[in-house]
Amino acid sequence: MTTRACVALIRTNATTVLHDYERLLGLAGCREHLDPSTPTILQVSTSRHFPFPAANTTPWQLEGTARALRAAGYTKLTWVERRPTIANPFKGTDLNGYAPIMRDYGIAACAGLSPGDMRWVRYAPSGPLLVLDRVWHDALTIPSCFYGTNIVHMPTIRCDSATGTMQSVIGGLYDLRRRVPRSRTDELLVDLLTIQREIHAGCLTVVDGTTIGNGPQARLPEVKNVILASVDQVAIAAVVAKLMGVDPLRDLKYVRLAHERGLGCGDVRAITLVGDTDLMRESWHFSAKNRTAGLLDALVQPSSVRPLRRCFSSTPLERVIGAVQRYNDYYRWPVQSRRVFESWLRGTHWGRLFQQYCKRFQEMG
């Protein structure tokens, strides 16, 4: 790489978070790397339609990013959302309070990124791939609206997928219903990063770490009051991994592969940090089980799907996914996850801020 990778990270709170996002994007060099005259796609990361902490892009993350981009002269903002494997995107838009933000900031709604929702076109990568050309036996296709645009990914920090900072890349460029060999998921992610660099004019990743967790799984959400941004997705993944107590080059294969192929910088020592750099002295001590879960493994083969696959080995994957959706909606959410969510709503300043966004949605009708 000709220039050092830069990652901006700052502390925030529920009172100043929108101003902090504007400062964050300035520190990350948004204007220097994304052309304001180019259409900009806001890619929301959703893994559950229910608003469990850290499971989805937060409403203040979406509003803070849109507000900062508008102030910097980005007028052509478009919303796209990948149809998640085990979540309903239409419910997610409502339950997470996104609709009023899209209206207030003039974000043009686009169709979902499922093959049946918009036009996907064939694509021939210019460089060699590690595994994608073998997994995708027929022609490789990508959404036609991605060509020549800026893209802004807005993931959260989740421990069930090591860092959670690459979820939007996967959701936008790969059909999650296609099976991926568990041993090749890291190579697949590197291939997707390669394609992304070829088709987009610019890329920015804005990570919300105000509350971290792993969605409605075993680990309870933890308030950390941190937000990060970078135009180097590998670098920001490495920095988040370091905060979580993980050595990115040693423990995360996809970071090491991407670093070796020149797709970004995975060596924290070679990354320029700006903002509240003293945060890097922290370590959140995520367990080895969580940190080695494998980023794509958690998305392509969710933990709640695996036991059902053993029970219904002859059932088509779509029916298995439907069973998982019903399990999450009618058992896990009302029996377990909702209590955790409501405790977060009442007991944290981020939960109270989330309630304000819900009120805006109700007033919108």
Judge whether 17 lies within some domain.
yes
What amino acid occupies position 44? V
Judge whether 347 lies within some domain.
no
Judge whether 217 lies within some domain.
yes
Residue 191: its pLDDT value, please? 87
Is residue 76's pLDDT more than 60? yes
The average pLDDT across 94-103 equals 85
Residues 225-268 have pLDDT tens digits of 999 999 999 999 999 989 988 889 998 888 999 999 999 999 99
Judge whether 354 lies within some domain.
no
Judge whether 242 lies within some domain.
yes
Residues 9-38 have pLDDT tens digits of 999 999 999 999 999 999 999 999 999 999
Those residues with Cβ within 8 angstroms of residue 359's Cβ, 6 or more apart along the chain or in another chain: none
Residue 122 lies in domain: 6-302
Residue 26: its pLDDT value, please? 95
Q: What is the pTM of this model?
A: 0.84
User: Can you tell me whether residue 205 is helix, strand or coil?
Assistant: strand
Judge whether 143 lies within some domain.
yes
- Could you tell me which residue, 339 or 59, shows the higher pLDDT? 59
The average pLDDT across 64-84 equals 87
Judge whether 222 lies within some domain.
yes
Residues 256-274 have pLDDT tens digits of 999 999 999 999 999 999 9
Q: Report the number of distinct structural domains present in the chain.
A: 1
Task: Give one word for 52, left, alpha or beta, with left for phi > 0 and alpha for psi -120 to 50.
Answer: beta
Judge whether 317 lies within some domain.
no
The average pLDDT across 98-105 equals 90
Residues 290-319 have pLDDT tens digits of 443 333 333 333 333 344 334 333 445 566
The rounded Cα 196 to chain-centroid distance in angstroms is: 15
Torsion angle of alpha carbons 285, 290, 294, 298, nearest 10°?
-130
Crossing angle between the packed helical segments 349-364 and 59-71, to the nearest 10 degrees:
70
The average pLDDT across 158-181 equals 58
The average pLDDT across 119-124 equals 79
